[in-house]
Amino acid sequence: MKKLISLLAVLLLLNITAHGQESYAFTQPAHAFRDGVALYLQKQYSAAQQQFRAFLHQANTLDKVNKEEADYYIASCAFALRQSDAMNLIATQIDKYSNSPQISQLHYMAGILNFEAKHYIKATNQLAQVSAKDLDPSEQQLCYFATGYSYMAISKFSDALTAFQPLLGSEKYDAVATYYCGYCKYALDQYSAALPYFQKIDQDQAFASLAPYYVIQIYAKLHDYDKVKSYGNNILATQPHNPKNNEVYRLLGECNYRERNYTQAIAQFEKAGSGNELPRSSLYMWGLSYYLSNKFIDAVMPLSKVAAVSDSLGQNSFFWLGNSYMHLKEPLKAKLAYESASKMSFDKKVQEEAMYNYAMTIYTNASPFGESIKVFDQFLSRFPNSTHGETIKKDLATALLASRDYPAALQAIQKLQTNSPEIAAAKENILFHLGIEQFNLHHYQPAIDYFNQSIASETFASPMAQIYFWRGESYYRQKEYQSAIQNWTAYQSSPQSASDANYNESNYNLGYAYFHLNDFKRSQLYFLRFAGSAHDPLSATYNDALLRIADCHFQLRNFLDARLFYTQVISKNVPASAYALYQTAFIDGLQRHYSIKIDELNKLVTNYPTSEYTEQAYYEIGRSYISLNQYNKAIAAYQTLLTKFPNGALARKAALEIGMAYYNNNEKQQAIAAYKTVVANYPGSTEANEAMQNLENVYVELANVNDYLAYRRSLGKNNELSFNAQDSLTFVTAEKLYISGQPEQAASQLRQYLAQFCPQGNYCIKATYYLADSYRQLHQMDSALVDYQKLATINGNPYQEEALTQCASITYDQKQYNAALNYFQSLLHLTSNSTYKQAALLGVLRSSYLTKNDTTTIAAAKTILNDNQATPDMKAEARFDRAAAYQLINQPDSSFADWNLLAQDLHTLYGAEAKYDIAKYYFETNDLAKSENEILDFINKGTPYRFWLAKSFLLLSDIYVKRGDYFQANQYLLSLRDNYHANDEIQTLIQQRLQAIKEHQNQQSGQQ
């Protein structure tokens, strides 16, 4: 700019000399221009700008040269004043006067403004067009510096180096140029060349806090670790409080790591990492220093941070994390780490070792989702020549069984190319366990098919005796008793069976199989064998066997022996004693010892008033008194039955018997009243029809036919003969269609019958039942429900219990749980039949559970749990539902008692869910340690119900999120994602959690 200003000054003097005599009006623009230049030279840029703008306002349009100069000065003043429009003015000048002699100066100003605004790419583009000779020395130096810095800022270090070098040795820029030249060389990996630059200024006051740190890094890059240590210790001694000393500690830590001074390395890394984020390579060395110093728990943190990135360093970190967790006796975490390392192929040797360790960890600990088979198979496929190959092959057979994923195990065996004796034996065992799984699911034919395949293997490595036992059980459940007998006999013939836990049970089972085939001699033999072994005398199964022995004697007409065994059960005062009392009374009746029979039955109704035999006992007491011609006592017994069991199965018969007893006791009027009660209370029943016939006989004997006919007319029975004939014919037609399995045609005929003859018809009750059942067979459940409801409200009809059962079942299936609950409760109140009673209890339990009726749920569960005839599955369900009910009423201790009992057997659905519920409760109450322990125990023990195991993995991930350990939470989720393949909600829940973790980590990165 210096040359430009001199030239302008000469031009100004020439202009003044030539036009000194011109008029004021003519010279005014020139005066403004001249003043503007003078003010500009005096650096009064704002005033100069005003003069140049005044000149432009008044100047002649033909004066292009001076106008161009004025525009330039305005832009130059704006640059000097750093006015907001400076860049626009300069850019306009560049575009308008591209051939101007000031163009280089304009590019300089544009470059400097972009540099100051940190628009480094634009700055380099402008400054590249500047000719240094057009600038004065200070501008030249600033131009070099801005150019170098801008290139450096956009990582063009070679260009930056070229720009900085002219500044070396300059008074103003020497130190900073030296620093940036060193930095550019460093950035270009020219460490030896960079070193002298930093050494030159390491004592310079401005750079003493920076340059030494590059010097030590360069020594580290050049692997001159002795100088790293000496120079680093010098920095720490001379600048002990420099905030950059963490970098010195880091480099010293790396030196000590390489020299295997792990204790010193740890100390240095701990100082370096205190509040600072270290490079991953340093974190890796830090983690290994801990590991190699047997500080395994400390190794986890740095190695976990390195493992978060998928590369060779991350793969190695996962491997060492796995080793650390194994030393810490945390095999599940070790498994996750080895699994992650085995999925990376950056380092094949590490991958091989990681996959081997992964397989061995699963093999020796837990394989919750059956992944061991897959891993063993993958290992042999990927590393066929591995030194671990023989170990893997040897352990594969055991792993196949240990996985507990028997379908996957069978598939894996079928894919294997080798068929060693160990694998063949494993296959046989797997087929056996597949059979057991199907048996537990009540799929008996598939279970038999698997047992058949297992037996056909003929390796005799599996428990052959048990296969026969369970195949016998499967046949028995299908009521194929002869096949069951053959299998249990084969089981008992096996040498293994004598010491097997199921041996005594096989005698019990054989007893029942023969019993069902009416082979009472053989049945008795096996029940005697069962009873002859050691038993708890109050055991329900033992007493049941005694009853069956007695029953066999009874069927064989050995009444004396039968009584002996019934008496054994009676003396124990157990629930089964009621049946035994009833049977001994029945024997007394057969022997016509009616008084003794009555005494026995009275004991039954007194001692076991809620027994399913109580109603029948009252009925038999009445019959016995009839046999003794003691009609009044018979009537009393029947009336007691009607009072206690008004809707019972025998109520109709008892009511009819009362009428007959009055008649036999020559109390005709009382007989008439009793018969009319039967007709009124049980319309359409067989007993009502018989009562009508008996009434006719009584009225005839009393010579009072008119009263009988009047009574019939009151019932709507006018044209008796023609009505009854039509009624019978129409019903029989419909009944034949129903019995022959034509529900649609039967329904049509039954509707016609009901419309035409009822309620007066003789078969209305039966027709209504047939119609309801026909609708059920046609899956017209709403129509079926209407007719079942009619039957359910008619007390004493023979189909009332079945109707209530169907009403409950239909409404339950339609998810009308409140209605279902009412029907189940009605059935429970009505029935004395043990089968109906258990079904009703279970229905009450389920319906109340689903309607969150906690009081009823708890009561129903308690009844089931106290019922000796309830199956283990029923009791498990009752306990589970009760636990949920206790939670609703805020009684967690009671819930826990039930959950803990259920969780003792994780091979049941309720046990698995209960185990999860325990862990979830601890989590929700913020007892994370207990929650984690429950989950780890669950994983270690395993379960066939993997949905709840998967839910537990999700919960474990949530625990680690709550602790802030997002790395470990992520690992659990990734492992679950890769190993759980069921088509349910789990994968969606995994993805939601993974996304939440990712968003958290992104947020953390943004904050840093």
pLDDT tens sequence across 544-556 = 999 999 999 999 9
Question: What integer pLDDT is reported at residue 11 of this predicted model?
Answer: 35
Q: What is the mean pLDDT of the chain?
A: 88
Task: Dig out the tokens for 534 from the structure.
Answer: 């050691």
Asked whether residue 948 is domain-assigned, the answer is yes
Asked whether residue 975 is domain-assigned, the answer is yes
pLDDT tens sequence across 717-726 = 655 556 777 7
For the segment 773-798, the average pLDDT, to the nearest whole number, is 92
pLDDT tens sequence across 629-656 = 999 999 999 999 999 998 888 999 999 9
pLDDT tens sequence across 933-988 = 999 999 888 888 889 999 999 999 999 999 998 988 998 899 899 888 889 999 99
Q: Of 712, 766, 710, which is closest to residue 738 (Cα–Cα)? A: 766
Asked whether residue 232 is domain-assigned, the answer is no
Tell me the C-alpha distance between 400 and 392, whole Å: 12
pLDDT tens sequence across 435-463 = 998 998 889 999 999 999 988 876 655 56
CA distances from 765 to 688, 768, 772, 787 (A): 11, 5, 11, 10
Tell me the C-alpha distance between 699 and 674, whole Å: 13
Helix (H, G, I), strand (E, B) or coil at 758: coil
Helix (H, G, I), strand (E, B) or coil at 1006: helix
Q: How confident is the model at residue 62 (pLDDT cuts 50, 70, 90)?
A: low
Half-sphere exposure of 649 (CA within 13 A, CB side): 15
716 DSSP assignment: T
Asked whether residue 929 is domain-assigned, the answer is yes
991 DSSP assignment: H
For the segment 272-287, the average pLDDT, to the nearest whole number, is 86
Question: What integer pLDDT is reported at residue 672 of this predicted model?
Answer: 95
Question: What integer pLDDT is reported at residue 776 of this predicted model?
Answer: 95
Asked whether residue 999 is domain-assigned, the answer is yes
pLDDT tens sequence across 609-619 = 988 899 999 99
Helix (H, G, I), strand (E, B) or coil at 210: coil
Q: What is the DSSP string of 494-526?
A: SGGGGGSTTHHHHHHHHHHHHHHTT-HHHHHHH
Angle in degrees, CA 450, 453, 458, rounded to 5: 140
276 DSSP assignment: S
pLDDT at 408 over 80: no
pLDDT at 371 over 90: no
Considering only CA atoms, give the Rg of the chain.
Answer: 50
Exposed, middle or buried: residue 816 (CB in 10 Å: 0-12, 13-18, 19+)?
Answer: middle
Residue 924's CATH number = 1.25.40
Between 669 and 719, where is the model more confident? 669
Tell me the C-alpha distance between 430 and 412, whole Å: 11
Helix (H, G, I), strand (E, B) or coil at 829: helix
Task: Dig out the tokens for 384 from the structure.
Answer: 């066929």
Q: Of 969, 967, 938, 963, which is closest to residue 952 (Cα–Cα)? A: 938
The b-or-e profile of 177-198 (16+ CB within 10 A means b, else e) is bbbbbbbbbbeeeebebbbebb
Give the DSSP H or E segment for 714: helix 705-714
Share of the chain above pLDDT 90, in %: 64
Question: What integer pLDDT is reported at residue 9 of this predicted model?
Answer: 36
Q: Which amino acid is at 649?
A: A
Question: What integer pLDDT is reported at residue 340 of this predicted model?
Answer: 93
Share of the chain above pLDDT 70, in %: 94
Q: Of 215, 222, 224, 223, which is closest to residue 247 (Cα–Cα)? A: 215
Question: Which among 319-323, 386-390, 730-734 has the top mean pLDDT?
Answer: 319-323
Q: Which amino acid is at 182?
A: G
CA distances from 781 to 738, 745, 823 (A): 17, 17, 16
Tell me the C-alpha distance between 220 and 255, whole Å: 8
For the segment 755-763, the average pLDDT, to the nearest whole number, is 86
CA distances from 820 to 56, 442, 817, 824, 878 (A): 100, 25, 5, 6, 17
Tell me the C-alpha distance between 766 and 619, whole Å: 24
Q: Which amino acid is at 543?
A: N
pLDDT at 20 over 80: no
Task: Dig out the tokens for 828 from the structure.
Answer: 């429970």
Q: Is the dihedral of CA 514, 516, 519, 525 positive or negative?
A: positive
Q: Which amino acid is at 250?
A: R
Question: What integer pLDDT is reported at residue 8 of this predicted model?
Answer: 38
pLDDT at 75 over 50: yes
Tell me the C-alpha distance between 984 and 253, whole Å: 50
pLDDT tens sequence across 861-899 = 999 998 877 888 899 999 999 999 999 899 988 998 999
Cβ partners under 8 Å of residue 949, min gap 6: 368, 369, 912, 938, 939, 942, 943
Host domain of residue 927? 919-1007
Asked whether residue 991 is domain-assigned, the answer is yes
pLDDT tens sequence across 618-629 = 999 999 999 999
How many structural domains are present in the chain? Answer: 1
Q: Which amino acid is at 2?
A: K
If one counts every other C-beta atom within 10 angstroms of the C-beta of residue 562, the result is: 24
For the segment 814-840, the average pLDDT, to the nearest whole number, is 91
Residue with tokens 């894996």: 412
- The model's pTM is 0.65
pLDDT at 23 over 70: no
pLDDT tens sequence across 112-154 = 999 999 999 999 999 999 988 889 999 999 999 999 999 999 9
pLDDT at 27 over 70: no
Q: Is-contact 180 164, C-beta < 8 A?
A: yes
If one counts every other C-beta atom within 10 angstroms of the C-beta of residue 552, the result is: 26
Helix, strand, coil shares, percent, the chain, to 5: 75, 0, 25
Angle in degrees, CA 856, 857, 861, rounded to 5: 115
Question: What integer pLDDT is reported at residue 403 of this predicted model?
Answer: 62
Outline where 369-480 has alpha helix (H). 371-382, 389-402, 406-415, 421-440, 444-457, 464-477
Asked whether residue 951 is domain-assigned, the answer is yes
Asked whether residue 270 is domain-assigned, the answer is no
pLDDT tens sequence across 159-211 = 999 999 999 999 999 999 999 999 999 999 999 999 999 999 988 888 988 89
Q: Is the dihedral of CA 787, 788, 790, 791 positive or negative?
A: positive
pLDDT at 224 over 60: yes
23 DSSP assignment: -
